[in-house]
Structures are given as structure tokens and as C-alpha cells.
Structure 1
Amino acid sequence: MKTIGYAAKSSDAHMVPYHFERRNLRDNDVSIEILYSGVCHSDLHTVNGDWGDQPYPLVPGHEIVGKVIDVGSDVSKYKVGDHVAVGCMVDSCQTCDQCENHEEQFCRNGMTPTYGAPDRQTGEITQGGYSKHIVAREEFVMRVPESLDMARTAPILCAGITTYTPLKKFGVKQGSRVGVIGLGGLGHMAVKLAVAMGAEVTVLSRSAKKEQEAKNLGATGVLVSDDKEAMDASANAFDVIIDTVPVKHDLNPYTPLLDIDGTLVIVGQIGPMEEPITAPLVLGRRRVAGSLIGGIKETQEVLDFCAEHDIHPECKMINADEVNDAFAHLEKGDVAHRFVIDMSSLSVDA
């Protein structure tokens, strides 16, 4: 299938129109016309080469919603016209213990990311959602609940599942005390999801300027991390802290904020961190953990959870030719929402 997307041709992260071919349908494939594609900070890291060399040209995008336009002969879950979603991965071995446990993101043989990785059958490089179409294996396609706004659903496929998984894994429930470091694309979803789980949520930020925004999302307010007196007074105040900061930073101011057996979960930065001071960890049986995304079953679960609780990401809609401007804003770190590309702005004939 001939299609068009926006691709990085090199590590300068400048995106340009790119015509390419999607594979022919396999028996278990679903062909999707992409309607909306979220822009994730990890897209910027990837095309910049921050996480290693990339197989350019590269079409990013792993927050994808659209409608089914064709299905393979063995597909049973979807039909033409269904509203569906594709997230951060499009394949795995399906046979290892992790896949059988619905944790395909930890596939022992390596899951296949939605873009920038070899297809398990042909070896061709997967290309992502900044495009008009995608073809994906049925097992890695999810249903979009009818009550969700399609234009604001895409970020749930990454920002939503990335924060939902650790909130669930580390036992957030009614009455839990949750801190969220950062109020960007990931952070604002962490707030909304934790509030819906019944938690008391506080945003941790370097200044109080986002206080009203935090409250509008359901948080009780902002704890200013540069205010030593306020930080000292908040010792032992949290059961779970979700750290969404996507760059190297210092965890040491935050670990004393955890109560005994509390957990700080890193979901943003992949790479070096400042040297930790272990005393708060040892003396309080506190933990620093990491979390990736969730499996396909859990990603469907968060879609359904968001539909049940009327949770939508805060989104700014852009045209495909505005993606470089969106990347510039992500680079500056001045975004408190998720950019979403309206793919109707891109024509295959362009």
C-alpha cells in the first residue's frame, strides 16, 4: 500500500514528507487509516539519536488511532469501519513466559517497537504513526471505546499506559498519597489517572506557577521542590511518586518524601542520573523503581478505564507540517499537554 508520512532522514530531527510502502496484508493483519497520531517526547529522543543510532529514514509515532479499512483472512476481532488503536509495539514472540503473562513489552525475545525496528518476518524497518496508514498484527490492535473522543485518545496509548501501569503495579487506590514530578504529557495523565483511582495527588514542580493547572486536573496543589522548608515539612508524605522528568536530574530531594515502603517510579528518563544518596532508601525501606509501558491487555484496560471515568489527555491539535514546531516546544520543555497530529491534513497524493 502506498502511503505518506513525516520522516527524519538524519539525527537533526527535522521532519520532512516521506512517501513509502506499507506491507501487503498477512492473514492476521489489520490495515488502518490513521486519523490522529500523538507526538511523544520519546519520538524526539529517538529521531535525535539520543538512544543510539537509528535506521533512517524514520517515521516516528506510537500513539495511533484510526479506522479499519481492511483485514486479513484470519482476523476475527475487527471489521472494516471499527475505531481502533495501536500503541508502542506491534509484535512479540507470543510464546515466552512474559508474552503468556500479557507482558509483551518484556518479551524474552524482544518486542517489536512500532517504529525503528526490524519486522520479525521480513526484517524491513517498522514505521510509525506520523503517517496516513499502518498495517499491524491483530493481537497488537486495540479497540477504542465509543465514549472516547477520537481526537483526544491517541496519547492514552503511551502517556496513559506509561503512567497507569506503575500506579496499578504499586498499589495506588482510594486514599493513597501520590506525588507526580512534572506536569507535561506524562505528568498530567498521571494526575488524572491517580485521581480517578481515588488517590490524593500533589504535583512536584520547581515553581508554583502551575498550581491552578494542577488543581484543574484534580490535584490538591503543588509542592515546590526548590522550597527547602516546604520539602522538609513534606517528609514521609507520599506512598508513590511518579517521576516523569525526561532528562537527567537529581532524585535525592524526592526520596525523603516517600513514607516507609514508599516507591519512586521513574517513567521519563532513560539514561544516566545524578549519584543517589542511599540513606533515605535504607533508613526508610524506600524504593526507586522503573517502569516501561504495559502489555496489550493492560493498554486496552486503560482505554476502558479512561472511557469509564471520562478521562481525556489535554491535547493541542496540529497539522502534519507543524510537527517540527511541536518538536521545538518539546525540546524547550514548555509543554503541559500532548501535541496530536490530525492526519486529515496529510494527503497521499501530496
Structure 2
Amino acid sequence: MNAIAIPKPLARPHKLRFWPLQIAGWLGYLALYFTAWMGESEPGAWRQFLPVLLANTAFGFVNTSLLRLAYQRIWSLPLPRLGARAAALLLAATLVQGTFYATIKTLTCTGHDCMVHSMLGYLWYYISTLYVLLSWSGLYFGIKLARQSQEQKEAALRATSMAHEAQLKMLRYQLNPHFLFNTLNAISTLVLDHKSDTANRMVTSLSSFLRYSLDSDPVQRVTLAQEIEALQLYLGIEQLRFGDRLQVRIDVDVAARCALVPSLILQPIIENSIKHAVAKREEGGRIEIEARRDGDALDLRLRDDGPGCPDFDAPTNHTGVGLANTRERLRVIYAARQQFVITNREPHGADVHIRLPFETAVRA
């Protein structure tokens, strides 16, 4: 059986992914600055500069890790305040990082390449540090915003799927009380008329049909063969009520039997036909059910020889409740991929035509 897929809540992957990215980013910083310095310095000078670069890289790793915690604390602020706080934190982290780099380089590294010859040299420390931390912050906020957007989309999808599931269940289950009332009323009449054998058969048939109805999920789909089998349980109950007044012909093509359809999608249509084409006529009526595969589509037709109706979907016409719910279930499940057309037959009767995508269960 197939069901509308409801995505499961995602684990919190950002806690697992931040540290690999953080480590990879600062290792890349270390490699980039080391190779650049190697290309500009005298041979062997890297022995003095490498400890400075290692210390600055380790300090940057800790500094940005703390900066991340600070960003997390202000993340829920309105955008203007968030931008102002983030800029202040970035400048503070830049001052700390730049000061550390200038100090450690002055104290541990000797030689012409390590000396700062003017204020512009110190300014370069801070500007280059600001560039690095600004790039880090841009990546952090960009990744965080992208993940938040994805989580919002997935949450919206889950909410929509759950709403559709609830809607389908409401549409399906609100049809059952009317049928149940009629059947129990018929059983009561049979008992009063001392037709206990017929009443017993009707109770047994009702029990089987209700068991199938309760076990089947409106969100799930069943094969057309299973749907016809459930429909025959329902028709068996109605034939006990009406006897020879109800005539049924079912013609299902072999190729169509494996097609998937929403569970109990045909029952309210048949119930509507029985109510108007059989129950209200002394001579009873005839109901025909046909199913064919037509290329990539499943073609279903349900006909009766009753009086028909000028307006099947009128809101004040009780006839339209089951048909309108069936139409809505098909719309929720298949959207524009389905057709649901009701017409009057000549000289009298109703014709319900349903076309659905021809889909079968995927076997593992």
C-alpha cells in the first residue's frame, strides 16, 4: 500500500557538521598563509614563522568558536539589532585576534621579516584579521540561514502532509454514520418481522465490512481488486435489505485489478445510487460498475438507472454530500491528475466517470 509520505523530523545535523568545517577551515588558513609566507621569505625563515602561525591559527580556532556561541545568543533578535550586535562582536573578535597576532609575532619572531616598520604594518594585522573573520562570519550566517530555510520548508511540508491526512480522514469517516444508521435500522426491522436468519446474515456482513473499514487507512491506497471486494461486502448488506429490487453488475478488466485506488472511494457513490435509484423506487434499480485500463490511466464508471439529478453538487442537496467528499478526496490525493465527472444518462439515470493515474504497488 502507498501512503502520502510525511517526512520525518530531521536530526540536528548542524552540531555534527560545524566542527569538521571549523577544523577544515582553519587548517586551510594555516596552509594558505604558510605557503604564501614561504614564497616571500628567505630560505629557512619558516622555522621562526611557523610557531607564530600555529599559535595564531589555534587562537583563531578558539576565537571563532566563542564567536559562534555569541552569534547563537543573538540569533533570535530582530534583523536590525542582530546586524548591529553581530558587527560589534565581529569588531571585538578582530581586535582580540589582531592584538594577539601582533604581540605573539613581535615576542617570538626575530629578523627583518618579523619587524613592524610603521603604523601601517599594525593596521595591516587588523585589516587582514577583519577580512578573515568577516569571511568566516559570512560563511557561518550563510550556512545557518540556508539550513533554517530548509528546515522551514520541511516543516511546512510536514504540516501540509499532516493537514491533508487529517482532511482525508475527515472526508472518509464522516460518510460512515449515515450508512451505519440505515443498516442498523434495517436489522431492527428484520428482527421485529421475526426474520432472524436474514438479520443474522446482515449483522455478520456488517461486522466484516466495518472491520475492513476500520482497518483501512483513508490515506493509504489499495488495489482495485481489494476495493471491489470491500464493495461487494457493502453491496451484500444492501442486497439483504432490498432483495431483488437491487440488481448489480460488476465488470472489471483483469489488467485494471492491480491498479491502486484510495480505500473505499467507490462506496459513497454506490450508496448515493442506492438511495436515489433503488430505495425511492418501488421497482428498485440497477447499478453497473466498470473498470478498464486506458494507457496510463485507470477508467472507472459507475452507472444507475434511477431518475438522475439536475444538480449533483448543490450545497442544499443532501445527495451531494458523499459525491462532494469523494471529489475532494481525489483532489487532495491526485490534484490535477484526476477527473471526476457526473452526468445524467438518457433517458434517465446517473453516470459517474472517474479517471485516475494508473499506478501499481512497488514490490520489494
Sort the TM-score into its range (normalised by shorter chain): under 0.3
Higher helix share: 2
TM-score, normalised via structure 1 length: 0.26
TM-score, normalised via structure 2 length: 0.25
Higher strand share: 1
Larger Rg: 2
